[in-house]
Chains A and B, each alone.
Chain A
Amino acid sequence: MPIRSPVSTLAWICANFIETVWKKILFSRWTKATLFAVCLIPAALLVWRGFQGDLTANPVEYIEHNTGDWTIRFLLITLSVTPLRKIFTQPLLTRYRRMLGLFSFFYVCVHMLMYLTFDQMFDPAAIWADVVKRPYITVGTAGLLMLIPLAVTSTAAMVRRLGPKRWQLLHRLIYFATLAGIIHFYWLVKSDIREPLMYGVILALLMLFRVRMWLSNKPTSAETRPLTATRT
């Protein structure tokens, strides 16, 4: 039996301690509350800048663009949870995924509400014409519509009702919603495509990770199916 040197024992104790604290942090309600507050910062900044009269000369467009940006960013953050938890073997990270996803839904709602109110003045005919005529509006609307069932079925009760398999299948819609959001952005810009392109690359990387994960999981899927099925 190998005898531990005092140094390695100390290292082991430290590592163990850090691990315990880290787990405590991940489990803590306070962490969730903090993350919630952090996710609200972009909205708070908009309100703050609004009071300062600092929303540029075109506040409507500024809020539309800003909330649109944050929708895509939150979708990408939500999609990063699974790769992060796999790479760092931190299954607890999943605890935060729903909140992140719901925040992207929150920002897209503000985005859409600005458009409906100030761009279209709730004129159904004008909105319909815009949706069918303008590809970037069409694809953006499609993305938004895809997010609605995901938000509706985000509660634990709905997960149980749908069953984990169907729930997971349904929630794969987020991939298409994110892609729709990025295309919506890409089709809107006039010539400087750096930002939508960057989001596209991030989405591609996140999807590449999943494809590799699915491919490498395949041979063992038969034996682990009962386990994976309960994982939501």
Chain B
Amino acid sequence: MLIRKPADLRYSDVTPKELYLNRRRFLAAGSAALGALALPPTSNAASLSFSKSSYTVDEKLTPKDDVTHYNNYYEFGTGKEEPARYANTLITSPWTVEFGGMVNKPQKLDITSIIKIAPLEERIYRHRCVEAWSMVIPWIGLPLSAVLKQVDPKPGAKYVAFQTLHDPKQMPRGKYAGIDLPYVEGLRLDEAMHPLAILAVGLYGESLPNQNGAPIRLVTPWKYGFKGIKSIVKITLTDKEPPCTWNITNAREYGFYSNVNPQVDHPRWTQASERRIGELFKRKTLPFNGYADQVAGLYSGMDLRKFY
């Protein structure tokens, strides 16, 4: 007996292309007509209002295309190009960050209220990956210190712990990452309060692309890039050194501090030089990624070979 299958119909066969292309507007119009709330604006490539800051470097910016297509974000694949390809499944709106632990004002803050805590500013920072490549990135963000002051750390708090969203539905590739998820990171409180440390919400004048850690991520330019935890959902003040993902994965290779240090090699490769993205030959790596004048004082008296 022959059972005939009906010819396959695709959505494109029944949906006019103009309607499909304008589906957001279509949906918004529909929901507005129903008296429902209008859809939140899509977080992709929304331009931000910000002011320039004096935190800048006299070096050529890495092209935006490279900054947004050469990423390590293992929840979306371990290849450098994969996050740009697969991070579109990340839902960044609505987004709340939970502040807790040793704070006087524990609270859940919506991303829209976090960016109102302090004026957004552009910070042009060097970015040095532990894999010995580097970029120069115009971040948009606000000082982490301003946000922490808002939640009022208790006197006993010594460290700040951060946590990335982990939702296997949005991050199906996370199971191949070879690292425990959710991704966690930490800073000493004085590092977190340092004016160079920012929570970034954008780059190149626009809100963060998902692959760069949307909607909000940490940027600590004197540390290796992996310290800059992405898509933060939780910030906890504590009196103990918090666990950090790469340190858990391989403590010998990735320390808690992970300050950029050309004198302390990664056990498997040298950290004395780096390849600036866009350049063919390597250049010398600077202590604290060139921010020694500002941050070296945080570590005075510490043996940086021991506390790598």
CB distance from A161 to the nearest CB of B (A): 41
Q: Which residues of B contact A57 (CB under 8 A)?
A: 62, 65-66, 69-70, 80, 277-278
Q: At the interface, yes or no: B269 with Cβ under 8 Å from chain A?
A: yes
Q: Which residues of B contact A59 (CB under 8 A)?
A: 280
Contact B179–A191 (Cβ < 8 Å):
yes
Chain B residues bordering chain A, tally (CB within 8 A): 27
Report the number of A-B residue pairs with Cβ-Cβ less than 8 Å. 56
CB distance from A134 to the nearest CB of B (A): 6
- In the complex, chain B residues 81-117 whose Cβ is within 8 Å of any chain A Cβ: 81
Main secondary structure of the interface of B (DSSP, over half): loop
Chain A residues bordering chain B, tally (CB within 8 A): 21
Residues on B facing A (Cβ under 8 Å) = 62, 65-66, 69-70, 74, 78, 80-81, 131, 133, 176-179, 249-250, 265, 268-270, 275, 277-278, 280-282
Contact B178–A191 (Cβ < 8 Å):
yes
Give the contacting residue for B268; candidates A58, A134, A193, A194; CB below 8 A. Answer: A134
Q: At the interface, yes or no: A60 with Cβ under 8 Å from chain B?
A: yes
Q: Which residues of A contact B78 (CB under 8 A)?
A: 190-192
Please, which residue of chain B has its CB at the minimum distance from the CB of A53? B65
Q: At the interface, yes or no: A213 with Cβ under 8 Å from chain B?
A: no
Q: At the interface, yes or no: A187 with Cβ under 8 Å from chain B?
A: yes
Output the residue of A60, A130, A136, A192 with the most chain B CB within 10 A: A192
A134 in contact with B269 given A191-B179, A192-B74, A192-B78 (CB within 8 Å) = yes
CB distance from A226 to the nearest CB of B (A): 50
A56 in contact with B69 given A61-B133, A119-B282 (CB within 8 Å) = yes
- Which 3 pairs across A and B sit closest by C-beta, in order of nearness? A191-B178, A57-B70, A57-B66
Q: At the interface, yes or no: A121 with Cβ under 8 Å from chain B?
A: yes
A187→B270 CA distance, assembly (Å): 14
CB distance from B225 to the nearest CB of A (A): 12
Give the contacting residue for A56; candidates B80, B176, B268, B281; CB below 8 A. Answer: B80
Q: Which residues of A contact B270 (CB under 8 A)?
A: 130, 134
Give the contacting residue for A187; candidates B70, B176, B265, B268; CB below 8 A. Answer: B268
Q: Which residues of B contact A58 (CB under 8 A)?
A: 70, 80, 133, 275, 277
Q: Which residues of A contact B66 (CB under 8 A)?
A: 57
CB distance from B96 to the nearest CB of A (A): 29
Q: Which residues of A contact B269 (CB under 8 A)?
A: 134
CB distance from B268 to the nearest CB of A (A): 6
A56 in contact with B81 given A61-B133, A134-B268, A192-B176 (CB within 8 Å) = yes
Q: At the interface, yes or no: A118 with Cβ under 8 Å from chain B?
A: yes
Q: At the interface, yes or no: A163 with Cβ under 8 Å from chain B?
A: no
Q: Which residues of B contact A190 (CB under 8 A)?
A: 78, 131, 178, 249
Contact A191–B74 (Cβ < 8 Å):
yes
Please, which residue of chain B has its CB at the minimum distance from the CB of A193? B178
A133→B265 CA distance, assembly (Å): 10
Please, which residue of chain B has its CB at the minimum distance from the CB of A187? B268
A194 in contact with B176 given A58-B80, A136-B268, A187-B268 (CB within 8 Å) = yes
A136→B62 CA distance, assembly (Å): 30
**What are 12 A-B contacts defined by CB distance under 8 Å?**
A56-B80, A57-B62, A57-B65, A57-B278, A121-B282, A190-B78, A191-B74, A191-B177, A192-B74, A192-B78, A192-B176, A194-B176
Contact B69–A60 (Cβ < 8 Å):
no
Output the residue of A56, A61, A190, A193 with the most chain B CB within 10 A: A190
Q: At the interface, yes or no: A42 with Cβ under 8 Å from chain B?
A: no
CB distance from A48 to the nearest CB of B (A): 17
CB distance from A212 to the nearest CB of B (A): 32
Q: At the interface, yes or no: A135 with Cβ under 8 Å from chain B?
A: yes
CB distance from A54 to the nearest CB of B (A): 10
Q: At the interface, yes or no: A205 with Cβ under 8 Å from chain B?
A: no
Contact A60–B81 (Cβ < 8 Å):
no
Q: At the interface, yes or no: A188 with Cβ under 8 Å from chain B?
A: yes
Q: Which residues of A contact B281 (CB under 8 A)?
A: 118, 121
A180→B124 CA distance, assembly (Å): 43
